[in-house]
């Protein structure tokens, strides 16, 4: 999508970063991936930097809604 590409270019990424599905550098910068601790650390980094909320889009290899992953990622009710 052009508007996402333009936004990433304005943020300092290059056309090479956008090519062929995205460079490792780009993916590591915009995707919180790994185990639960790694994802928690990425979300916390955004909150520590001043974000007031974080939205997660779960990408799964399984068909259908990623209900199991949602339950694991959801913080306990406060």
Task: Report if residue 78 sits inside a domain.
Answer: no
Domain total in the chain: 1
At 74 the pLDDT is 84
Assign 13 a pLDDT band (cuts: 50, 70, 90). very high
Task: Report if residue 40 sits inside a domain.
Answer: yes
Task: Report if residue 13 sits inside a domain.
Answer: yes
Task: Report if residue 26 sits inside a domain.
Answer: yes
The span from the CA of 22 to the CA of 28, in Å, is 10
Task: Report if residue 69 sits inside a domain.
Answer: yes
Task: Report if residue 23 sits inside a domain.
Answer: yes
At 77 the pLDDT is 52
Contact (Cβ atoms closer than 8 angstroms) between residue 27 and residue 20:
no
At 78 the pLDDT is 45
Among residues 28, 51, 42, the alpha carbon closest in space to that of 73 is found at: 42
Express each pLDDT in 38-78 by its tens digit: 999 999 998 999 999 888 899 888 899 999 888 888 876 54
Residue 16 clears pLDDT 80, i.e. is over it: yes
Show the domain range for 38: 2-73
Contact (Cβ atoms closer than 8 angstroms) between residue 18 and residue 5:
yes
Q: What is the dihedral of CA 55, 71, 38, 53, to 10 degrees?
A: 20
Neighbours of 17 (CB within 10 A): 19
């Amino acid at each position: 999508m052009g508007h996402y590409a333009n936004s990433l270019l304005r943020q300092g990424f290059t056309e090479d970063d956008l090519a062929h599905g995205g460079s490792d550098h780009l993916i590591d910068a915009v995707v919180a991936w790994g185990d639960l601790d790694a994802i928690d650390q990425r979300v916390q980094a955004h909150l520590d930097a001043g974000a007031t909320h974080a939205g997660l889009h779960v990408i799964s290899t399984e068909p259908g809604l990623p209900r199991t992953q949602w339950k694991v990622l959801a913080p306990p009710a406060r």
